[in-house]
Structure 1
Amino acid sequence: MPIYEFKCEDCGKEFEKFVVSFSQIDSVKCPECGSSNVKKKVSACSVGGSSTSAGSCTAFG
């Protein structure tokens, strides 16, 4: 189950939210101001190929 990154378009707060279903993304509200005017950020994740390398995740937005 994914954790998505969001940004509030009203107050500028960036936050992460655990979303059980993709259809619930439209109901996400900002934890700072309560606005539903939030945008899902684009994230790019990669996982290392060996057991000794750590995965990394970088968000763009």
Structure 2
Amino acid sequence: MTRYNIMPTARGEPYDWKVEANGRKTSSHRTQQNAVDAARRRAAPGDEINIHGTGGRVRDSWTVRA
């Protein structure tokens, strides 16, 4: 199972949102929705997607189904 985290990037980075898979950055995006879409495209059944708000807390989470 892979855990995808969509979270804001650190200040000074060129993009505003990033996708991490099991703690490793996989992509950067200008909008949160683009980051969510990228995670959905990569995710396989059984993988988990967590969306973090700008404060760092998880605000939405789900497991991908077949």
TM over 0.5, yes or no?
no
Q: TM-score, normalised by structure 2?
A: 0.30
Greater percentage in helix: 2
Larger radius of gyration between Structure 1 and Structure 2: 1
